[in-house]
Amino acid sequence: MERAGRLLALSKTARRHLSAEQLALAAWPAAVGAKAARHTRAVALREHILVVEVGDELWRRNLELLNGQILKNLGSLLGPGAPKAVEYRLAIPRRPVRSEVPREQFRLRSPGADEAAGIEDPILRRIYLRSKRKALAS
């Protein structure tokens, strides 16, 4: 994606057929590099301000520290139509929240209670439960 963004930004044909916003969005991965591009996404260009969604607060702070270099890279890729500023926003998580698992699955049972219930003789059942407890303890 970084290579495609660099080619689109430098292409004169692309400048004729694409809007300034589309060029800025395509140039974003080339301006920040592959690693930062995996954690960010340019979403809009509003009045020469590029709006970028960032995965978490740490990436947002780090990109704000590198803002001057990023604007310089965008300027070299896009020329006079480059954004004058970048606004970093925290992205809304894409993965839906998992629904709660039914409580029946988490019911605690005594070890071997089901197996011991199948033993009719009370003495043999007791011997079975003791030996099972011993085996699980060691």
Residue 40: count of CB within 10 angstroms of its CB: 21
Say what the pLDDT of residue 96 is.
64
| Domain annotation covers residue 98 | no
Residues spanned by the domain of 72: 2-90
Phi, psi (5° rounding) for residue 98? -70, 140
In-domain check, residue 77? yes
Rounded CA-CA distance 97/80 in Å is 43
**5-26: per-residue pLDDT in tens?**
555 555 556 556 678 888 888 8
Say if pTM beats, i.e. exceeds, 0.95. no
How many domains in the chain? Answer: 2
Average pLDDT over residues 47-60: 92
Length of the chain equals: 138
Residue 24 is assigned to a structural domain of this protein: yes
Q: Give the CATH number of the domain where residue 41 resides.
A: 3.30.300.180
Does residue 101 lie in a domain region? no
Same domain, residue pair 8 and 62:
yes
pLDDT at 112: 47
Backbone angles phi, psi at 25, to 5 degrees: -65, -40
Beta-carbon count within 10 A of 55 CB: 16
And the tokens for 27?
Answer: 């140039």
